Amino acid sequence: MRDDTAEYDVVVIGGGPGGSMASTLLAQSGKRVILFESAKFPRYHIGESLLSGTADLLKKIGVLEKLESGGYIKKYGVEWVWGERREPWTVYFKDALAMPYDYGYQVERGAFDQLLLENAREHGVDAREQHRVTDFAIGDDGTTRVDYTDEAGGGKGSVTARWIVDASGQGGLVTRRLHQQEWDPYLKNMALWTYWRGAERPEGLDAGNTFLPTFDEGWWWFIPLRDDITSVGVVVDRQAYLKHKDSGLELFYHDCLLRTPELARRLKNAEQREKVRAQRDWSYIYDRFSGNGYIAVGDAACFIDPLFSTGVHLSMLSGYLAAVSVNTILDKPEIGRDRVLDFYEEAYRKEFERLRAQVYFLYAGHGGSKESYFWHARSQFDVPGIEPEKAFISLIAGAFQHRSWYRRYLAQLDVPDELRTTIEGIFEGKSAGVNVDWQLPVTLADGTGVVEDLAVDGAHLRPAPVLRPPAGSGMPVTPAVSALMNLADGTRSAEELVNLLVEKELEQADRARALVHEAIAFGVLAPKTSAGD
């Protein structure tokens, strides 16, 4: 047995997008990382449509330019045939809240995942393909042991490390053993798909957009890929699948196609390139994503119905959050392991639950309207005044920069100038979707107070005070925010508060207006008439 003991800080199980993301960021931070992947890359995987919010994550690990130069199809929006009317309607990522990029990518996962794994190696990760993890053990002090089999060479080995990142996908190697998996009772669906050459695509900017039409038993995805290939899949509930299973998947697939004329027209002159594939798409979530010595990312923690194409995005977002959390636990033990893991759990779980709620609503809303979908998305956001359509687009685009855990302490933390500019631009008083009456007196919203929280600070988390309302995002307690707490007594208008911040030399005029606007948008300040006075 090969013994690699005491060589590593972190063992990552799984080389998909979540594992590659976490391992790359950990290696960038100086950690000794080993990654075990059971497959030989490139390997086939479904889940080909990336959200525009994923582009920012790709940039963090240095692969966005590689994706750009690889000729992958860009998507600028999503076209829907969903709701009470059959007229198509399109939403564009450029209209989302806080999106650094107005496009996402359509990718072949075999090549894309290999790109991410090779990038992890370039950053110093010891990434071993065809190495299957067979067992693990976690000591009381958090020290971990992972046993593996080299399926190509036939050998076996064991490594020890300070932490495990479980990125093993729906197998959930660590979480399945240590936690309870909770299946969603309403989202038990099956996906059937294949690939077509020569499908009709829209012209111009819309050529790479995802197309999502519904029919009487489910919905379809239409994802344009390179080389004139299109991924076309149907999602139906389990009962519909079982009812038609005996007649054959090919027959059922084409029968569903005939019942979706908007899609059938696009495939009229196209050639089916492969047999129909099938996969269970049952949504689930584990009761915990982390514990002493381990943290789970992506599908090892939870899986949501693929309606919004969130699989890769959630995997990479959780990989990012996991890397920040593990760095903090290993490098800054004074902050407290449990506090850090609670931060991770809350952030990832909230993102999952937000998306699940909107999926529920769209599935229930075949007879609804696009406006009703927009308004429901608005209820999922922690920006009380956001415009409904902007909320919907932000949700399906993967916008997360506005979340309080990400931008809460921007003025206090050491972040790249480019990122600072991007996020500060969100709050210039134009894009938060709030119509501020600058002449109306405002005061602190009832129940608003200062609490201690954690904030992302480069590769780590740090404690910092935040002024938090009962609902909505908090704000960093900077000198300007402290002044607002005292000045907003119900006798001064929003405009007067801006002028006082400038007069006291706490902020420049444009930033002072943005700060007051942000406080109103996030529910920290409220008009006197609605604040309970």
Residue 63 has pLDDT above 50, yes or no: yes
Residues 6+ apart with CB under 8 A from 227: none
Q: Are residues 330 and 457 in the same domain?
A: no
Q: Does residue 224 have a cis bond before it (omega within 30 degrees)?
A: no
Residue 445 sits in the same domain as residue 522: yes
* 342 belongs to a structural domain: yes
CA dist., res. 93 & res. 227, Å (int)? 24
Q: Does residue 232 lie within any of the structural domains?
A: no
pLDDT digits (tens, 9 = 90+) for 366-386: 445 555 555 555 555 555 556
Cα 422 to Cα 56, 180, 418, 487, distances in angstroms: 11, 40, 6, 29
Q: Are residues 303 and 174 in the same domain?
A: yes
Question: Is residue 483 domain-resident?
Answer: yes
515 and 433 both lie in a single domain? yes
On whether the CB atoms of residues 200 and 266 are closer than 8 A, the answer is yes
Contact 136, 146 (CB under 8 A): yes
The predicted-structure confidence for 387-414, as pLDDT tens digits, reads as follows 666 667 666 666 544 333 333 333 333 4
Cα 433 to Cα 168, 351, 391, 454, 525, distances in angstroms? 40, 21, 9, 27, 16
CATH classification at residue 327? 3.50.50.60
Neighbour order of strands in the sheet with 441-444: 489-493, 441-444, 525-527
**Residues 25, 148: one domain?**
yes
Whether 11 and 113 map to the same domain: the answer is yes
**pLDDT tens-digit profile of 411-448?**
333 434 433 443 343 333 333 334 467 888 999 988 99
On whether residue 222 sits in a domain, the answer given is no
Question: Which class for 531: exposed (0-12), middle (13-18), buried (19 or more C-beta within 10 A)?
Answer: middle
Q: Which of 346, 367, 383 is the last residue of a domain?
A: 346
Same domain, 421 and 516: yes
pTM of the model: 0.82
Average pLDDT over residues 188-217: 94
Residue 315 within any structural domain of the chain: yes
Q: Are residues 13 and 127 in the same domain?
A: yes
Does residue 314 sit in the same domain as residue 417? no
- Whether residues 342 and 438 share a domain: the answer is no
- CA distance linking residue 296 with residue 344, whole number of Å: 10
Distances 112 to 105, 118, 269, 444 between C-alpha atoms, Å? 10, 10, 29, 48
525: domain range? 413-530
The pLDDT tens digits for 454-493 are 878 889 998 888 888 876 667 778 899 999 999 999 999 9
Helix orientation angle between 337-364 and 370-379, rounded to the nearest 10 degrees:
160
Q: Are residues 448 and 305 in the same domain?
A: no
CA dihedral 22, 27, 30, 36 (to 10 degrees): 90
Q: Is residue 376 part of a domain?
A: no
Mean pLDDT of the chain: 85
Instruction: Identify the domain boundary among 325, 346, 367.
Output: 346
Q: Which of 304, 320, 346 is the last residue of a domain?
A: 346
When divided into structural domains, the chain yields a total of 2
Residue 408 covered by a domain:
no
Per-residue model confidence as pLDDT tens digits over 100-158: 688 999 999 999 999 999 999 999 999 999 999 999 999 988 889 999 999 998 899 99
In a domain, 474, yes or no: yes
pLDDT digits (tens, 9 = 90+) for 262-297: 999 999 999 999 999 999 889 999 999 999 999 999
CATH at residue 518: 3.30.390.160
